[in-house]
A = this chain, B = another copy of it.
């Protein structure tokens, strides 16, 4: 399956977008986030996620608060900042544009 590499690149590219989208309405902690991404067919490990979340937090897109768990160590619940919401809006737009680009290219093939 030669396309594998390319496919994972495509997935990767939208990972950040999906994470920001998922955080838009719900606080979540890392394990939950992984589950939700998995549900949308986007596999990630926590080793990928922690640095990414921490990067987004340093950029003021995400914030977190500690919450104690009923069964285990405390969890970091992440949510979007106001700035994060603005970023999400930009990303939504860009995503549509990119979609348009791909559409255009794929259509081009067929007609010509």
Residues of A at under 8 Å CB distance from B? 1-3, 6-7, 9-14, 16-18, 20-22, 24-26, 36, 40-42, 59-61, 83, 86-87, 90-92, 94-95, 97-102, 104-106, 108-109, 112
Contact = CB atoms under 8 A, between A and B. Distances in A.
Contact of A10 (B14, B42, B106): B14
A11 B13 contact: yes
A59 B104 CA distance: 26
Contacts of A25: 109, 112
Instruction: Tell me whether chain A's interface is mostly helix, strand or loop, or mixed.
Output: helix
A92 B106 contact: yes
Contacts of A90: 1, 3, 7
